[in-house]
Amino acid sequence: MANSQIFQSIRGCMLPHANSFNEQAAPAYEFNERHLLAQYAVTGCLNATFYADAVSQLETLLEACQNVEPRFIAKTAVYCRERGYMKDTPALLTAILTLRGPEYLPTVFARVIGNGKMLRNVVQILRSGAIGRKSLGTRPKKLIQNWLNTTSEQQLLNAAIGTQPSLADVIKMVHPKPNEVWREAFFAWVIGKPYDLENLPPLTKAYEMYKRDTSQAVPEVPFQLLTALPLDTAQWTRIALNAGWQMLRMNLNTFARHGVFADSQVVAALAEKLRNPQAIAKAKVFPYQLLAAYKASAQGIPPELREALQDAMEIALANVPDMAGKVVVCPDVSGSMSSPVTGGRGSATTAVRCINVVALMAAALLRKNPQTLVLPFENDVVNVDLNPRDTVMTNAQKLAAIGGGGTNCSAPLRRLNRNKATADLVILVSDNESWLDAKRHGATAMMDEWALFKKRNPKAKLVCVDIQPNRTTQAAERQDILNVGGFSDAVFSVIAAFAADQLQPEHWVGVIEETVL
């Protein structure tokens, strides 16, 4: 008789064997090259994260681009800029297209390089030599010249803020030939050459006049151009009232220090701006940026403004979908989630941690789908009392206050199986670097637990949301399993489409493939 110890029915024996290892040297499933490119593009900020330094992220992106067709690089660049709201990686992919897919460059450049910050990003990348060239090249130079000669004065003034390279450096590199008198004067003003004050465009001229006589009205120029000037409270108030939405969000403490919030009418006007749905949509704000502003707001910030930030959060998450059936959300609250979500950037490192983002996603889904079961996990599932009627901000802070422990991605599924629970959709939000449940052979522990869960819930689906640039996942992609990366609200749309059977077999990669160039 055959050995019953080795030929017995084994749960998971038909599951795919792990074909790789994660950063913790635990078994995992490797993403294919297109998924890998997408994952790094929408999560990688080219800064050091808990598991990946900046150089290794760059190397992985360059390697992935060598293994996919240029058209997919172009679509990924557009997707992660327009829907993922990323900055550095779409600029990098645009730069790569100058070598790998120049036929797509004009279209991608027009959609990705939408402001001066993005323009300076792509120039810096091209000039660095990191992608295999140090010169701009004829085609990129013409695209940059066209941007400089067609963009508005306001955009040019915004572009004049920042260095490495500065706008002056860019102008000196590409030598734009302006076809308007005001633009010629503006370029001369930027690079420090003689210009005729009367030929400057209105805002720039007003700024120069204001520098000479600060008793005049404060010009509506970028905030950073004014901060070095001696300003009184009335002038700071004017700056705050003129501020764009993102600038207001980022500088509440600065305005508080200069007495702007002493006037209740000003506070009311600024609160209305912060909660304005059109302004929020135009700003392409990450929900976590609102959480950052809320967390960073000092005691001098009036309650009306803190409440407006909470209102803005609810508005920014308005497109979190209603999920049919029973939903379980599993946010990773392990120790690795304490790292900054956009990586270490020295003094500019964000105070927002990965755990804040996963907590925010879980809280948002709970708010929109009140019957959602939330199972935060580290070594094991952590019990936490959440009220679906509380604000997203309140529940997110409750979840983020847990923190610590190792990563065990199979823990929530094991809890569900132990309780013989039912569900239609399970969403795990993590960095997928599971190691406490590592196995020596076969499928990952998470796939084993999912197979057991599926026996009771044959129509159930699993979504693994990864918010960090990683090569692997704990759940192999298949019809009932979706792997998606990113931390913009576009992730929710992909999850909803998957839950409603509206995705192609390629799942998230298929969504990117649908991008029209």
Domain edges within the chain = 230-316, 320-513
For residue 358, give the nearest of 348, 366, 368, 350 by alpha carbon: 366
| Among 185-189, 250-254, 298-302, 359-363, the least confident range | 298-302
Beta bridge partners of 502: none
> Nearest-5° angle of CA 514, CA 94, CA 477?
40
* pLDDT value at residue 12: 47
Which amino acid, residue 438?
A: A
* pLDDT value at residue 466: 93
Helix or strand run (H / E) with residue 448: helix 445-456
* Mean pLDDT (the chain, rounded): 90
* pLDDT value at residue 192: 95
Q: Which residue has the higher pLDDT, 291 or 417?
A: 417
- The length of the chain in residues reads 517
Q: Do the beta carbons of residue 20 and residue 28 sit within 8 Å? A: yes
Write out pLDDT tens, residues 399-415.
988 888 999 999 999 99
Report d(CA 373, CA 362) in Å as an integer.
10
Strand order in the sheet with 327-331: 373-374, 327-331, 425-430, 461-466, 481-485
pLDDT above 50 for 7? no
For residue 427, give the nearest of 483, 470, 511 by alpha carbon: 483
* pLDDT value at residue 3: 52
Q: Do the beta carbons of residue 358 and residue 333 sit within 8 Å? A: yes
3-class state of residue 21 by DSSP = strand
Write out pLDDT tens, residues 207-257.
999 999 888 888 888 888 888 788 899 999 989 998 889 889 989 999 999
| Among 75-89, 186-200, 344-358, 490-504, the least confident range | 344-358
Q: Omega into 140 within 30° of 0, i.e. cis?
A: no
Confidence of residue 29 (pLDDT cuts 50, 70, 90): very high
SS3 content of the chain, % helix, strand, coil (to 5): 50, 10, 40
Around Cβ 135, how many Cβ atoms within 10 Å? 11
Report DSSP letters for 449-479, one per residue: HHHHHHHH-TT-EEEEEE-S--SEESS--BT
* pLDDT value at residue 242: 87
pLDDT above 60 for 9? no
Report DSSP letters for 87-147, one per residue: SHHHHHHHHHHHHH-GGGHHHHHHHH--SHHHHHHHHHHHHHTTTS--S--HHHHHHHHHH
Q: Do the beta carbons of residue 375 and residue 328 sit within 8 Å? A: yes
Handedness of CA 154, 157, 162, 164 (dihedral sign): positive
Give me the mean pLDDT over the 156-175 stretch.
Answer: 94
Of all residues in the chain, the percent with pLDDT exceeding 70 is 95
Alpha-carbon 247 to chain mean position: 18
* pLDDT value at residue 6: 43
What is the SS3 assignment for 398-432?
Answer: HHHCCCCCCCCCCHHHHHHHHCCCCCCEEEEEECC
Report d(CA 300, CA 114) in Å as an integer.
35
CATH of domain 320-513: 3.40.50.410
Give me the mean pLDDT over the 324-351 stretch.
Answer: 84
Around Cβ 108, how many Cβ atoms within 10 Å? 23
* pLDDT value at residue 220: 86
Alpha-carbon 485 to chain mean position: 10
Are β-strands 461-466 and 425-430 bridged in parallel, bridged antiparallel, or unpaired?
Answer: parallel
* pLDDT value at residue 329: 96
Beta bridge partners of 492: none
* pLDDT value at residue 319: 67
Q: Which residue has the higher pLDDT, 215 or 151?
A: 151
| Among 11-25, 438-452, 461-475, the least confident range | 11-25
Are β-strands 373-374 and 425-430 bridged in parallel, bridged antiparallel, or unpaired?
Answer: unpaired
Confidence of residue 490 (pLDDT cuts 50, 70, 90): confident
Confidence of residue 349 (pLDDT cuts 50, 70, 90): confident
User: Tokens standing for 296?
Assistant: 């960073």
pLDDT above 50 for 5? no
Of all residues in the chain, the percent with pLDDT exceeding 90 is 63
For residue 140, give the nearest of 94, 204, 100 by alpha carbon: 94
Q: Do the beta carbons of residue 336 and residue 354 sit within 8 Å? A: yes
Confidence of residue 348 (pLDDT cuts 50, 70, 90): low
Alpha-carbon 353 to chain mean position: 13
| Among 7-16, 61-70, 204-213, the least confident range | 7-16
Give me the mean pLDDT over the 279-286 stretch.
Answer: 82
DSSP secondary-structure letter at 17? Answer: P
Q: Do the beta carbons of residue 258 and residue 273 sit within 8 Å? A: no
Interacting residues of 94 by C-beta distance below 8 A, sequence separation 6+:
77, 105, 108, 109, 112, 113, 122
* pLDDT value at residue 1: 46
Alpha-carbon 113 to chain mean position: 17
